[in-house]
């Protein structure tokens, strides 16, 4: 079993209401060291290594790294998490069933010895040989058009998949962080949304397969924490954008950018007066990393509180991309939340975290990524992997 990091109480039974540690200094470069934790693969974490003996054969034992399992690893967030954990010195076991994810997002990692990939659906029993220090459960369709097309898979990965991974965490003595979402607040009647708000979700609506799967995931995760004393972490992710979003996943950032690049008009759903608050992916990953190393078991919002209407956002995209296209209006999908803004007081207090990349900069980087895609990718309307799953109308 891998040694526990000093920064984190082993077997801690902290809950959402437990008193947070007042300070947790984590920097991008050497977070683990600053928290007093042992950096994976460091001499301290592997015990004594073989010393060179003069004139004799020198046996150098391989450095043992702490192992982390990342599900949904070929997706937008999962792939960025793989990059981050490799950078921090972990051995990454990436898992994905590739329904919505793409190997392209992680193909730059396949040559590494500290990276391995399992093609597996976590809704089925999950087996990983060897030790695991951490599990990050990020497998799930995350875009409204995706989860509407594959609703059963969405419900299964949030419920059965989470159950399998919690069981795995228990068996391995691993800490688990699950990806929750601002969608647990539904179409919120409280603004901005803090973790203490219980939400306003339609249990049988168009988004219910995602919202309720994630709410069940939270309940199941907390039950494992309270009943089994499992070390759990829960991040409620608000709208996030950046490189490696799937261009045709229907979410507003890739939708508008794809339209601008193809010379199509930008489609605003409804009047465009609904709001969202967009967080750049690097900021989100930093928040998740800090949360994992914290001792807080309950849900924590991570997002950028800078709120904007969808119409203003479309105008910003027109300006950024220099397109001459118009804004056109389409019906608002049902249960589309009218406002969304994270209250990040808790993340600031617990993790010393807030978003650093402003929208202008983040969008510039994201547009550069979308511009670099091939014509074929730019024109791909349907996600090829859906065919075998989605029901023919
Ligand atoms: N939206 C839009 N045009 C599009 C795609 C999305 O106006 O082509 C709107 C959508 O109705 C929602 C907001 O943009 O109000 C954000 O949608 P997204 O699918 O990105 O994620 P959500 O925050 O709704 O989960």
pLDDT, tens digit (0-9, with 9 covering 90-100), for 312-350: 999 999 999 999 999 999 999 999 999 999 999 999 999
Integer Cα distance of 362 and 243 in angstroms: 9
Q: Whose CA is nearest to atom 21 of ligand 1?
A: 251
Prior bond to 192 cis, omega within 30?
yes
C-beta 106 within 6 A of ligand 1: no
Sequence ranges of the domains in the chain: 65-383
Integer Cα distance of 25 and 34 in angstroms: 6
Confidence class for position 57, pLDDT limits 50, 70, 90 = confident
> Is pLDDT above 50 for 114?
yes
pLDDT in tens, 258-268: 999 999 999 99
Q: How far is the CA of 248 from the centre of ligand 1 (A)?
A: 13
C-beta 267 within 6 A of ligand 1: yes
Q: Angle at Cα 148 formed by Cα 325 and Cα 261, nearest 5°?
A: 20
Q: Are 76 and 105 in contact (CB under 8 A)?
A: yes
Q: Are 82 and 109 in contact (CB under 8 A)?
A: yes
Q: How far is the CA of 352 from the centre of ligand 1 (A)?
A: 30
Q: Spell out where 232-290 has E strands.
A: 232-237, 240-241, 266-269, 275-277, 279-280
In DSSP terms, 342 is beta-bridged to 193
Q: How far is the CA of 336 from the centre of ligand 1 (A)?
A: 8
C-beta 255 within 6 A of ligand 1: yes
Q: How many residues are listed for the chain in this entry?
A: 393
Q: Are 292 and 181 in contact (CB under 8 A)?
A: no
* Residue in 90, 134, 147, 210 annotated catalytic: 210
The yes-or-no answer on residue 197 being catalytic is no
pTM listed for this prediction: 0.86
Confidence class for position 43, pLDDT limits 50, 70, 90 = very low
> Is pLDDT above 90 for 17?
no
C-beta 213 within 6 A of ligand 1: no
C-beta 252 within 6 A of ligand 1: yes
Confidence class for position 150, pLDDT limits 50, 70, 90 = very high
CATH number of 65-383: 3.40.50.720
Ranking 39-53, 120-134, 207-221, 323-337 by mean pLDDT, the lowest is 39-53
Integer Cα distance of 54 and 215 in angstroms: 61
Q: Whose CA is nearest to atom 24 of ligand 1?
A: 336
C-beta 268 within 6 A of ligand 1: yes
């Amino acid at each position: 079993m891998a040694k526990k990091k000093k920064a984190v109480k082993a077997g801690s039974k902290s809950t959402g209401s437990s008193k947070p540690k007042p300070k947790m200094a984590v920097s991008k470069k050497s977070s683990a060291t600053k928290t007093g934790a042992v950096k994976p693969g460091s001499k301290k974490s592997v015990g004594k290594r073989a010393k060179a003996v003069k004139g004799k054969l020198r046996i150098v034992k391989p450095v043992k790294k702490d192992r982390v399992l990342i599900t949904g690893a070929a997706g937008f967030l999962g792939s960025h998490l793989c990059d981050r954990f490799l950078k921090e010195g972990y051995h990454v076991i990436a898992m994905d069933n590739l329904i919505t994810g793409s190997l392209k997002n992680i193909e730059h990692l396949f040559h590494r010895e500290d990276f391995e990939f399992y093609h597996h659906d976590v809704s089925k029993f999950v087996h990983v040989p060897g030790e695991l220090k951490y599990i990050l459960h990020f497998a799930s369709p995350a875009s409204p058009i995706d989860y509407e097309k594959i609703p059963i898979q969405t419900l299964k990965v949030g419920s059965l998949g989470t159950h399998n991974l919690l069981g795995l965490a228990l068996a391995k003595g691993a800490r688990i962080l699950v990806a929750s979402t601002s969608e647990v607040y539904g179409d919120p009647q409280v603004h901005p949304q803090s973790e203490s708000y219980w939400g306003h979700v339609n249990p049988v609506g168009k988004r219910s397969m995602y919202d309720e799967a994630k709410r069940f995931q939270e309940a199941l995760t907390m039950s494992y924490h309270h009943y089994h004393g499992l070390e759990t972490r829960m991040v409620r992710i608000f709208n996030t954008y950046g490189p490696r979003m799937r261009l045709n996943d229907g979410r507003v950032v890739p939708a508008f950018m794809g339209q601008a690049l193809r010379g199509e008009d930008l489609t605003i759903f409804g009047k465009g007066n609904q709001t969202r608050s967009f967080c750049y992916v690097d900021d989100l990953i930093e928040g998740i990393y800090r949360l994992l190393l914290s001792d807080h078991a309950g849900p924590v919002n991570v997002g950028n509180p800078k709120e904007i209407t969808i119409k203003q956002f479309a105008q910003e995209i027109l300006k950024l991309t220099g397109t001459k296209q118009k804004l056109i209006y389409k019906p608002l999908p049902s249960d589309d939340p009218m406002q969304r803004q994270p209250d990040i007081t808790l993340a600031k207090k617990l993790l010393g975290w807030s978003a650093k990349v402003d929208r202008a900069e983040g969008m510039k980087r994201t547009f550069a990524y979308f511009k670099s895609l091939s014509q074929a990718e730019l024109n791909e309307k349907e996600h090829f992997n859906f065919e075998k799953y989605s029901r023919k109308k």
